[in-house]
Structure 1
Amino acid sequence: MDERIYLRPSGINTFRECGAKYLFQFVENVQAPNKIHLAFGNSIHKANEVNFSQKVETKTDLPTEEVKQIFSDEFDNELSEVDKNDFALINPGQMKDGGLKLIEHYQKFYAPRIMPVAVEQRIKVTFKNYDYGLSCKIDVYDQDGIIIDHKSTKKKVNGAVPEDYKLQVGGAYVIAEEATKREVKGARIDYFDWVRNEFHPIAVPIDKEYFMNIFQITGDAIKAGIFMPNRKSFFCSKRYCKYWNICESKYGGKVKE
């Protein structure tokens, strides 16, 4: 039986952001109300997943209205699990309307350019001389050998890829190459800006050496049981972290509003 620890690139990012959050989410599997921005991202993701999954066989996108309905239904479903305090900060109706416009724009101008060969593919790999394994689920792998990851954001996209996204998408790149033993041509993030109703495809630079070093260091810390809260993080707040009350209870101190 394989008892080694398997890390996900998204989990590595979570650990770097906050060890306590990693503990609650990936080790203890603590259930907590979701945050509205995560619900939105999940709904965008679901709409793209359904469309591109069937496109692998049909080679044709679903009708735009059908994809919009998938987003709408998923968002309504996700809202039932959202922390209701978030509704005082973000109007869910306006957020949903923005998402529908984004889906329509994406389906009209960008989705037709993408010809997927694999969608939501789960991959698990090990590496020689590394103590831990890696696993991930790749959003889309297209016929040109490009890994495509879908992200939603409220920040203005300026062409620069944040370090955490570089690490996460770079990890998927490394895993895909190791699993297929073939060269992956590149990686890209398709950004859905729900504040400005804009869409931005941005190429992701890959630094395999950096990723593999962070991967090993993170695995060592997790194996040693080092799960330190990071109260200095921008995302350590009641607004962004769904584990804030559990964190206060376990570690003490106060999480900012």
Structure 2
Amino acid sequence: MTALVADKLTVKRGNATLLDGLSLSLGPTGSIAVIGPNGAGKSTLLKVMAGIETPTSGRILLGDRDLASLSHAARAHALGFVPQHFDPHWDLSVGELVRLGAERGERVPQEAVDRTIAAFELSGLGHRRWSTLSGGERARVLLAMVLVVDPPVLLADEPAASLDIRHRLDVIQALAARGRDRLSIVVVHDLDLAFSFFDRIVLVDRGTVVADAPAQALLDDPQLDAVFGVRFERLQTDDGWLLRARL
């Protein structure tokens, strides 16, 4: 059964077309990196696929059901969404925020909450308020809030952008690894990380899918250079791929 399908999505905001008849079919498992230049439509695509924004036309199918027909509870149970920016209405503590995330699931045990807090190295931050956290700490809290219920489908919009190098690697590897038995869709700004850790790459530009292929196949595709407007040098290392841009 197909897990998630974007069917001819169009999103218009005023005179701007953010998505232009975009279609994408994703299976029940897999690690997918969504890449593209600024303004390509990546964030809009994830928000529509998560049910956060409504498309002007087109639809999202979750399994064989239209996402728009599902209750908020059903969506929350099936889909986890990590936005680029998050500002809670109240200045809650880290522990309260993770427990709030757990309430989206059905009877999430305290042991699962504790494991998630430990996994994101938040144990020492439990009583800290959101307003006192650094950008990287906030990113880890947000990931913990979403992943504490272990959703079958995860959509994450540049979740590692504000993290230091070690935490960035940890998070990207963990999200990619979820693709072994879950569906993990991640907007990735760092192309080296996208091609090194994800199985499938979706290249988006001007609101459409330009290329959709296994990472190894897309790596040498000249469309990659054309979309970003540069010439990439591809360097293979023991740890993955390095892409160096030349004008």
TM-score by length of 2: 0.30
Higher share of residues assigned strand:
2
Specify which structure has the higher proportion of helix: 1
